[in-house]
Amino acid sequence: MHCRTLFLFAVLPFLAHAQKVSVEFDQSRDFSDFRTFAIAGGTIHSNNPSLNNEIVQRNIETEIRRRLTEKGFTEVPARPDLNVRYQLGSSRIAEKEAYPAGWRGYGTRIVTTHYTEGTLVIDLRDAAKHTLIWRAISVEDKADPLKIKDHLPDMVRKSIEKYPPKK
């Protein structure tokens, strides 16, 4: 029983970390006016070479195009209603958890869990007014930093699903 308890305590921090998407938007805007878009650029802020490369950028842009097109948007080369910008970042995180241990639980065991947090921010900007009108922030936590790359399509999908925002 003791080994099962230790295993559960070791696994719990990983179970707590799941993909989270939050959205911010201009509540005074009518989003039904927007029908066209252009990808105006993206940046990657990561020391991890599996994320910081132009293949990952192209894959993110392809997925954004696909998801916005599914929503009824049309990509145009000039004078779009919306400019799409995105940023991807990653950082290594170490969390420490204290658990009862020792004889009759009179001690403390510190367990350190390491994981990588990947954050994808997608901004939709009103091209005519040059203002941010909608932002989705998707966060993915993984024990293996290389796995963040595999979840980027899902991060884009879950973000764009939240457009148009519900007031």
- Name the token pair of 9: 């305590």
pLDDT tens track, the chain, 167 positions: 444 433 334 444 444 446 799 999 999 999 999 999 999 999 999 888 888 899 999 999 999 999 999 999 999 999 999 999 999 988 877 888 887 777 776 778 888 877 778 899 999 999 999 999 999 999 998 777 678 888 999 999 999 999 999 87
d(CA 53, CA 126) in angstroms, rounded, equals 28
In a 3-state reduction of DSSP, which class is residue 82? Answer: strand
Question: What pLDDT shows up at residue 75?
Answer: 98
Question: What pLDDT shows up at residue 98?
Answer: 82
CA angle 132, 133, 138 (to 5 degrees): 85
Question: What pLDDT shows up at residue 144?
Answer: 72
Instruction: Please identify which residue in the block is written with the tokens 């879950």.
Output: 158
Domains, the chain, with CATH or none? 18-92+113-160 (3.30.160.670)
CA 6 to chain centre: 31
CA angle 118, 114, 111 (to 5 degrees): 145
